[in-house]
Chains A and B, each alone.
Chain A
């Protein structure tokens, strides 16, 4: 077994070798090569999957359909983009039960109930005083969600009132940003969030909702 003296001699020997190597490199006119490594992450993620159910009524004509594609049955012709009578999001599932919206699209904005301005170039949602940003269902999978944490990245969150709905928008409860909330009225109708600006203008950059 090596004792302290042996260890000391060993370290001294290593240092001596190191100094000798440095001197030899100088004498040989050699230059030291330094390698740098720069790190950068590619972080692709699957954010959300949405399935919407487009219901066709009994009088819509559908080409190729065994029932609704039969002529002389009184079916109506409809436009290619409006060929269904109602469209409902029936499933919205998110990676790791965490919804995130960076506002690069307005896919999740409830444009009927929101009063601010979505910027398709700045990728943000702009709220003036009294404006509202309300989402569509951001999580819906025939499950009851009872807990959720809403986080917002914005130019200023001081004057934002935050609300969550655990029942698809039937009722709302005020929540604290970044703090887990327990749903007071929960159904399988999905989670929605609502942000109301109470004072000066605010730009919303990113909304994150973790739930279970």
Chain B
């Protein structure tokens, strides 16, 4: 599980520029290689969808996206990521124990960030 260096740099620079690139999409992939802070993409992305909801509470923010029944059918999902597609920024990259995606299942994916 990695909060990327790029995210920290963007948050810091936003204090100077007043501009912050924000997450817009959640992606799923089939690669299993662990990420480092300098990683910038999933190992093998198979699907990307726009964030469906954002919940901001004080210092915590949650981003939710859904991998629909019709998407990535037959894939084994090992990795998920939080992105800004237009700016090609990866905020969070995560690997997990694999999940088999079928047409009878949709996966809701939630990323929870906090500024401590």
Listed in ascending order, the chain A residues whose CB lies under 8 Å from chain B are: 42-58, 62, 64-68, 84, 87, 90-91, 93-96, 100, 102, 104-105, 107, 120, 123, 141-143
Residues on B with C-beta less than 8 A from A54 are 105-108
Residues on A with C-beta less than 8 A from B60 are 47, 102, 104-105
Q: In the complex, A91 Cα to B99 Cα: how many Å? A: 9
Residues on B with C-beta less than 8 A from A87 are 108
Q: In the complex, A96 Cα to B116 Cα: how many Å? A: 15
Inter-chain contact A104/B103, CB cutoff 8 Å = no
Q: Which residue of B lies closest to A88 (CB)?
A: B105
Question: What is the CB-to-nearest-CB distance from B79 to chain A, in angstroms, rounded to a whole number?
Answer: 10
Listed in ascending order, the chain B residues whose CB lies under 8 Å from chain A are: 1-3, 7-8, 11-12, 15, 55, 57-60, 62, 69-70, 77, 80, 92, 94, 96-97, 99, 103-116
Contact among B1, B59, B108, B116 with A52 in the assembled complex (CB-CB below 8 Å):
B108
With A47-B60, A55-B104, A104-B58 known as contacts, the answer to whether A42 contacts B1 (CB < 8 A) is: no
6 closest A-B pairs (Cβ-Cβ)? A142-B97, A104-B57, A46-B3, A104-B60, A50-B110, A43-B116
Question: What is the CB-to-nearest-CB distance from B52 to chain A, in angstroms, rounded to a whole number?
Answer: 11
Q: A49-B1, A51-B77, A95-B1 are in contact. List 19 more A-B contacts (CB 8 A).
A: A44-B116, A45-B114, A45-B115, A46-B1, A47-B112, A49-B80, A50-B108, A51-B96, A52-B109, A52-B110, A54-B106, A67-B103, A68-B69, A68-B103, A87-B108, A91-B99, A96-B1, A104-B57, A123-B58
Question: What is the CB-to-nearest-CB distance from A203 to chain B, in angstroms, rounded to a whole number?
Answer: 16
